[in-house]
Structure 1
């Protein structure tokens, strides 16, 4: 009887471990032109909204289920989406090949300042630096607005009386994207990946929106053009999330008054 119990426990633990292993995929990412492993490749499971990166040998391991889609991206290489199959889950490592992009640098023209020696004249040649700051309105949790940009006051008033309707139209019929937004904020690996990116590619893929729509969302949420142009992907993510939370607060306030 005792041996039977031990055998049952052993089989149960083996099955549990096997199930855990089948929920993770492993692989190696290489340069398709020379077969060299690529380190620090960004890998995101678009379905589970979790991420990881490759090590020095190009190896990676990530939680995934059958039919999940993995998104591979690396600076200077064409991004790639790969579907997770049952065979990959069962039979081990897979080699992923990324193809290099031909990078063409645009010519940059630097205009030299011609100083005259007269302060009144020279100071007009110096470009004005617009520092954008964020501040909150009392009573609105997690709500913030930029200061220092033209039209700031009108933007604040416009947001109070007409909250982020554009954001609602974009995501109101896409509850999965809103859930992804929350998962992205909670996953430390995703946040680390986004903090070093400025191309918006991972955000557009995860949220299923175009780059133009993404910029429009942030713009409609009362962020300046300067912020949109200079912010990294993590800052854009936090801006969209903050805007949606603000929208929910204002919407609740309106419904109570009605």
Structure 2
């Protein structure tokens, strides 16, 4: 009799855990000022590293369990975090309201390149962007060239002769964050939403890093200030991931 009770208890716990793992929660995102439905709001489950976006009716659905945190971000609105509760799972669809931000855009002056028609002269007038990433085959490291990166050679040499030290300081103490980084790379929804973002907010929320930490990681991995400043969040994700893969290769034999 005791064995049957234990078996029933085990099956109940297993069934409950399975049900929790497969919970899909739903909601609607609205503008707090006028209750207007918001389309294409980015939503990421920070615990399970899964992403989604709202449809034209402001609706979304995403896998989550109790105590998971959902991160909502939308251009021109204040990003928010919402904790998943038992009531949400019990009663279903809830309304999430986001607050609009007042953003004053700076004036941008675009100066066209005036070409003369003479190849010798025009070749000197057309700007050349040198923030390209170079890689030395077999050394698992890279650098960026150009006049704006005078330290490129010294950086790549320091990476060759003493690569493990700075890479360990960057990644060795952050195993959980780096696991989430790999999960982000495997989720198509997250990759798609990061492609149009430049604010690093989602990266900071998932990886539990500050903006300065992300910039320092890229700097120590020999990415130029120009790349760090202009790259979108997906490029930043891939850059950090590539540097982390180098760290794993260098750390494999330790």
Change beyond 3 A, Cα 1:166–1:139 = closer
SS of 1:30 mapped into structure 2: strand
SS of 2:252 mapped into structure 1: helix
- Residues 144-223 of structure 1 mapped to structure 2, 5 A cutoff: 144-148=142-146, 149-163=149-163, 165-223=165-223
Contact 2:70 2:84 in 1 (8 A): yes
Contact 1:29 1:95 in 2 (8 A): yes
Q: Distance in 2 between matches of 1:113 and 1:58?
A: 43
Change beyond 3 A, Cα 1:55–1:65 = same
SS of 1:52 mapped into structure 2: strand
Structure 1 unmatched ranges of 5 or more: 1-11
Q: Distance in 2 between matches of 1:195 and 1:37?
A: 23
Change beyond 3 A, Cα 1:112–1:20 = closer
Q: Deviations over 1:19-74 (max 9, x none)?
A: 26971210000011111110000000000001000000000000001000000000
Q: TM-score, normalised by structure 1?
A: 0.80
Q: CA deviation at 1:214?
A: 0.7
SS of 2:144 mapped into structure 1: strand
Q: TM-score, normalised by structure 2?
A: 0.81
Q: CA deviation at 1:223?
A: 0.7
Q: Deviations over 1:76-99 (max 9, x none)?
A: 000010000011012100100001
User: In structure 2, what is the equivalent of residue 137 of structure 1?
Assistant: 137
Structure 2 unmatched ranges of 5 or more: 1-11
Q: Distance in 2 between matches of 1:235 and 1:229?
A: 11
User: In structure 1, what is the equivalent of residue 35 of structure 2?
Assistant: 35
- Residues 47-62 of structure 1 mapped to structure 2, 5 A cutoff: 47-62=47-62
Q: Deviations over 1:112-164 (max 9, x none)?
A: 8899xxx9999887755324133242253xx4433444332222111122326
User: In structure 2, what is the equivalent of residue 244 of structure 1?
Assistant: 244
Contact 2:171 2:244 in 1 (8 A): no
Q: Distance in 2 between matches of 1:111 and 1:233?
A: 27
User: In structure 2, what is the equivalent of residue 103 of structure 1?
Assistant: 103
